[in-house]
Amino acid sequence: MRAEIVDIADNQEWFHVLRCDHVNAVAFSPDGKIVASGQDNGGMVTLWDTMTGREIRGIQGHEGAIMAIAFNPEGTVLASGGDDRTIRLWDVATGIPQQTLTGHEDYVSSIAFHPTGLIASGSGDKTIKVWGGLLYPRRRLYRLLMTLVGHADEVTSVAFSPDSARLASGSRDTTVRLWGWYGAIKNERTLRGHVGAVLSVSYSPDGQIVASSSADETIKLWSVEATRDEHDPRTLSRYIDSVRSVAFHPNGQIIAAANFRDDYPVTLWDVRTGRELRSLTGNSDEAASVAFSPDGRVVACGAGGRFGGSIELLRVEE
């Protein structure tokens, strides 16, 4: 792998272009110093220094492509999931494997950490599994706590609300489901409106909006507190193919979206007005994942395409 450093000055070019194999997932560490990528080639997870663009280390253990990655709230553990149906937990400081979680019957497509350390995972087996365990002096040992059933097709994305009270899930069955995360966990609401597979879900920082991106070439913004009769989401659309990933800026005012097969792999939107703020050109034509750094100053795009894969980092002005 090599990192190509690009000086953006006042233009719209990316300040780091990190060349690697096709990237399916990107995530920032809680302190923003590390960006992790999950790749197709040989089950590789790579940790990169956000500021310098240099590779910190490669972590290998999965059999097949990596489809999902997430840091725990402390930033000490990285979870990865993929084609081999497992979730693997890694020590961020050393890259040493800590535990392998098995139980899904198809590939793991999404992972999210709850602030308490619980893990939710979505899968091609149409289920969401919740993992938790005892905290020992050096690490937490996980076990399967429950399986959430309701979607009629692959669960593509899971995300916890900022107040930890709800879990949102998206699926190829075209729906978004909101699960109550207090008392008895249950499906509180099913949001219908997309006409294609839902590929990504993300909560706004205040927890009032769920954004969903879809193969129907749109992004929808759902009010979490709306009644069943009030669900008329705002729709953002300018795309010519699937919108693979969506993420809120920490200020809650901007959404970034990863666009599949588009000349502009990332689009930034104004949440309040629904206006397109900026379309960002890139070095790959198949953007798969997008994430904001915790301070909101950098957006990362993981991509693939005809010319190989990359993680592309851009400074974002407030």
Q: pTM here?
A: 0.90
Fill in the amino acid letter for 59. I
Residue 79's nearest CA partner among 102, 103, 48, 100 is 100
Q: Is the pLDDT of residue 228 over 60?
A: no
In a domain, 5, yes or no: no
In a domain, 95, yes or no: yes
Q: Is the pLDDT of residue 195 over 60?
A: yes
In a domain, 272, yes or no: yes
Residue 200's nearest CA partner among 181, 188, 215, 184 is 215
Distance CA 98, CA 90 (A): 5
Distance CA 102, CA 96 (A): 18
Per-position b or e across 149-164, b if 16+ CB within 10 A of its CB: ebbeebbbbbbbbbee
In a domain, 180, yes or no: yes
Tally of structural domains, the chain = 1
Residue 90's nearest CA partner among 46, 42, 137 is 46
In a domain, 291, yes or no: no
What average pLDDT score do residues 291-311 get? 81
Q: Which stretch of 138-147, 166-175, 226-235 has the lowest confidence by average pLDDT?
A: 226-235
Q: What is the CATH number of the domain that holds 117?
A: 2.130.10.10
Place of tokens 């979607």: 151
| Strand, helix or coil for residue 231 | coil
In a domain, 177, yes or no: yes
In a domain, 194, yes or no: yes
Distance CA 35, CA 56 (A): 10
Could you report the per-residue pLDDT of 156-192, keeping only the tens digit for each?
A: 999 999 998 999 999 999 999 999 876 567 788 999 9
In a domain, 306, yes or no: no
Which range marks the domain in which residue 119 is found? 39-280
Could you report the per-residue pLDDT of 272-296, keeping only the tens digit for each?
A: 999 998 887 665 667 889 999 999 9
Distance CA 30, CA 73 (A): 7
Longest dimension (CA), the chain: 52
